[in-house]
Amino acid sequence: MLSNSQVKHINALKIKKYRDEYKEFIAEGNTLVTDLTKSSYEIAGVYALSEWITGNLDVIGHKNIPVYEADPADMERITSLSSPSPVLAIVKIPAGMAAGLDSAGYGSPEQNIPGLFEELSVMLEGISDPGNMGTLLRIADWFGIRNVICSETCVELYNPKVVQASMGSVARVSVFYTDLSRFLENLKGRLPVYGTFLQGDSIYSIPLENKGIILIGSEAHGISDPLSGFVTGRLYIPSFGSTDNGKAESLNAAVATAVVIAEFRRRGL
């Protein structure tokens, strides 16, 4: 059985203020916790039903992870989900990575982001919905994108809804928060920057390199004017609907991102 102070600590981590203070976040569910134990994240503690512990000794055994046995009533008290899962982990927020590029790092993004100049990376401006953010990380992961660079206006990576919606991709994709204008200013002329707009060149007809940045705008406003200025390749996903009664105005941000990245990857096949 968990102590009241353990339950209180876990529940505090549902709130950003305490995640910032304790430098920890929570992850819930078998796949997510298992994926995190295999990643570079450090696990501060695993809270699980005895059956889960017995069945997952290989996952936790050799990693020196503190494990606390919980009963179903404990899991009810600490869950963020509509029905509690058999395992929840407290995970340490890494000091440098994903806590944001240090402001001293602005001038040399290539030193902070491995592979930036050789690969495709995704850049997110103002993604505010945690479910969208998690889905975007899952898409990046599926398509082998290692680095996701976020504006400081994006929802926090360690929001429990982002962590859950990423379905474990949070353990594999590196996420950086920074001032995108400064970042792109420093990259100018050194990497192509692709942006998705509601008009532009069809993604099926323009040349696409297999390195560079794919910039995705916010759900409500798309790519802002200041950042548009850095875009070297304006992409458009052709729409095929058109009835007397109009057509869909847009695709949602995650869906558009997936269609665009898939086309980059198809070209590279």
CA separation for the pair 91, 25 (Å, rounded):
5
Do the strands 24-28 and 87-92 form a parallel or antiparallel pair, or are they unpaired? antiparallel
Reduce the DSSP state of residue 216 to 3 states and report it.
Answer: strand
Q: Is 262 in the site for a copy of itself (CB under 8 A)?
A: yes
Reduce the DSSP state of residue 250 to 3 states and report it.
Answer: coil
Q: Is 64 in the site for a copy of itself (CB under 8 A)?
A: no
Rank residues 21 and 201 by Cβ distance to a copy of itself and give the closer one.
201
Q: Give the nearest distance from C-beta 218 to a copy of itself in angstroms.
A: 15
Residues 101/245, Cβ–Cβ less than 8 Å? no
Q: Give the nearest distance from C-beta 4 to a copy of itself in angstroms.
A: 33
Binder among 2, 10, 214, 258 for a copy of itself (CB under 8 A): 258
Q: Give the nearest distance from C-beta 73 to a copy of itself in angstroms.
A: 26
Rank residues 107 and 204 by Cβ distance to a copy of itself and give the closer one.
204
Give just the sign of the alpha carbon dihedral 99, 103, 106, 108: negative
Rank residues 69 and 219 by Cβ distance to a copy of itself and give the closer one.
219
- Concatenated DSSP letters of 44-91: EEEEE-HHHHHHTHHHHHTTT--EEE--HHHHHHH--SSS--SEEEEE
Q: Is 118 in the site for a copy of itself (CB under 8 A)?
A: no
Q: Give the nearest distance from C-beta 32 to a copy of itself in angstroms.
A: 11
Q: Give the nearest distance from C-beta 219 to a copy of itself in angstroms.
A: 11
Residues 235/200, Cβ–Cβ less than 8 Å? yes
Residues 232/193, Cβ–Cβ less than 8 Å? yes
Residue (of 91, 80, 159) closest to 127 by Cα position:
159
Q: Is 59 in the site for a copy of itself (CB under 8 A)?
A: no
Binder among 6, 135, 147, 178 for a copy of itself (CB under 8 A): 135
- 55, HSE (Cβ side, Cα atoms, 13 Å): 9
Q: Is 252 in the site for a copy of itself (CB under 8 A)?
A: yes
Q: Is 60 in the site for a copy of itself (CB under 8 A)?
A: no
- Concatenated DSSP letters of 110-167: HHHSTTTTTSEEEEESS---HHHHHHHHHHHHHTT--EEEEETTSPPTTSHHHHHHTT
Q: Which of residues 218-247 bind a copy of itself (CB under 8 A)?
A: 237-247
Site map (CB under 8 A) of a copy of itself, residues 137-156, x = contact: -xx-xxxxx-----------
Residues of this chain that bind a copy of itself (CB under 8 A): 31, 35, 38-39, 131, 135, 138-139, 141-145, 167-169, 171-172, 204, 237-252, 254-255, 258-259, 262-263, 265-266, 269
